[in-house]
Amino acid sequence: MGIERATTRWYLQRLAYESEAASLEAKLGEMRKHAQTLESKEQVEFEKQLAHVLSRLYTLGPCPKAMMG
């Protein structure tokens, strides 16, 4: 039971991180598309948040045990 719980927890965390990264990338894409000026503080903040989310996703690593398919 513990392995199943760990796998489920890992899967949900991965989905949350991927979703957050996708939304931040979309926001940055919109900002870059509409803004032709120098980087704003808001854009720099989004880039820092994205880097942090991607590092958490990388730290999460592979699934602790393969899910049954």
Query: Which has the closest alpha carbon to 18: 26, 6, 30?
Result: 26
8-22, 25-39, 48-62: segment of lowest average pLDDT: 25-39
Percent of the chain with pLDDT over 90: 46
Cα angle, residue 37 at apex, residues 34 and 40 outer, rounded to 5°: 90
Q: Residue 4 has what pLDDT? A: 81
What is the C-alpha separation between 53 and 56, in angstroms, rounded?
Answer: 5
Mean pLDDT of the chain: 86
Sign of the Cα torsion 25, 27, 29, 32 reads negative
Structure tokens at 42: 């808001």
Label residue 20 by pLDDT band (50, 70, 90).
very high
What is the C-alpha separation between 3 and 11, in angstroms, rounded?
Answer: 12
Q: What is the mean pLDDT of residues 32-40?
A: 70
